[in-house]
Amino acid sequence: MTTAPTGRFGILSRWLGLTLVVLLALQLLAVLAVNGWGEEAFRQLLVERLVTQAPMALVGLLLVLVGARLDEPKAGRTLLKWVVAVIGAVLALALLAAIPVSISGDTAISLKADQALQAQKGQVAMARAQLSNPQVLEQVIAQGEQTGQIPPNASEEEKRKAATAFMERQLGQADQQIQQAERARDLATNQRRIGGTGTAVVLAIAFTLVTLAALL
């Protein structure tokens, strides 16, 4: 009484699994159709698509193995298991190859972010050095008087203090923006290293295990 339902579940499991693998293939083909191997952005996009979509194929291969085991519990290395083993091995090798590409991309992106931050810090340092420049203070005072931020009838000392306080507030805001940019850079770096490179390593191991499970 339970053989027919089990057989139908095995067939359904196999088809669902193969569908998930085909979906991964379509996602990769959509990127590979551009054929931009010489561009770093293309390689990074391909790695990202592979890493993010590979878990779907991993579940698919497991469903295929479960379906095959339900249909033939004592069967040896069938054609379907060989197909699973080959796909698993190919994906494991692809993920291993993606690791150095991901690392090189992380390094390039981090270098650009560091350069941008250094440029911002340099600008802030130059602006801070102008706090004691009388000409700059006079310009800030003139602008403050035009905008009404500095009363025209205030004393020269009060005007200088107001201009200096205004410049310090601007520099403080710039420092906060740099700190926010540094936190964003660190978050993005950790996301790429852990969510990208780390995930690729784990998935490569997982597909290797699936390949071994299909052959045992």
pLDDT in tens, 114-171: 888 888 888 888 877 777 777 777 777 777 777 767 777 767 777 777 777 778 888 8
Beta carbons within 8 Å of 173's beta carbon, 6+ residues apart: none
Distance CA 212, CA 216 (A): 6
CA distances from residue 40 to 43, 46, 102, 191 in whole angstroms, order as listed: 5, 10, 10, 19
Q: Would you state the structure tokens that stand for residue 185, as one six-digit string?
A: 């850079």
Give first-to-last CA distance, the chain, whole Å: 30
Q: Give the per-residue pLDDT at 62.
A: 93
Please tell me which of 10-19, 35-44, 57-66, 161-170 the model is most confident about, judged by mean pLDDT: 57-66
How many C-beta atoms lie closer than 10 Å to residue 174's C-beta?
A: 16
Q: Give the per-residue pLDDT at 7.
A: 61
**Is the predicted pLDDT of residue 1 greater than 80, yes or no?**
no
The predicted-structure confidence for 168-188, as pLDDT tens digits, reads as follows 888 888 888 888 888 887 887
Distance CA 51, CA 41 (A): 15
**Is the predicted pLDDT of residue 45 greater than 80, yes or no?**
yes
**Is the predicted pLDDT of residue 78 greater than 50, yes or no?**
yes
Beta carbons within 8 Å of 177's beta carbon, 6+ residues apart: 120
Q: What are phi and psi of 20, to 5 degrees?
A: -65, -40
**Is the predicted pLDDT of residue 75 greater than 70, yes or no?**
no
Average pLDDT over residues 55-75: 85
Lowest model confidence (mean pLDDT) among 15-24, 50-59, 106-115, 131-140: 131-140
Q: What angle do CA 49, 55, 58 make, to 5 degrees?
A: 125
CB 84 within 8 Å of CB 60: no
Across all residues in the chain, what is the average pLDDT? 83
Instruction: Give the pLDDT band of residue 6 (cuts 50, 70, 90).
Output: low
CA distances from residue 67 to 59, 62, 152, 211 in whole angstroms, order as listed: 12, 9, 85, 16
DSSP code of 81? H
CB 51 within 8 Å of CB 95: yes
Q: Would you state the structure tokens that stand for residue 3, as one six-digit string?
A: 């053989």
CB 106 within 8 Å of CB 196: yes
Higher pLDDT, 106 or 54: 54
Higher pLDDT, 41 or 29: 29
Determine what percent of the chain is predicted with pLDDT higher than 70. Answer: 93
Question: Among 83, 87, 86, 47, which Cα is nearest to 68's?
Answer: 83
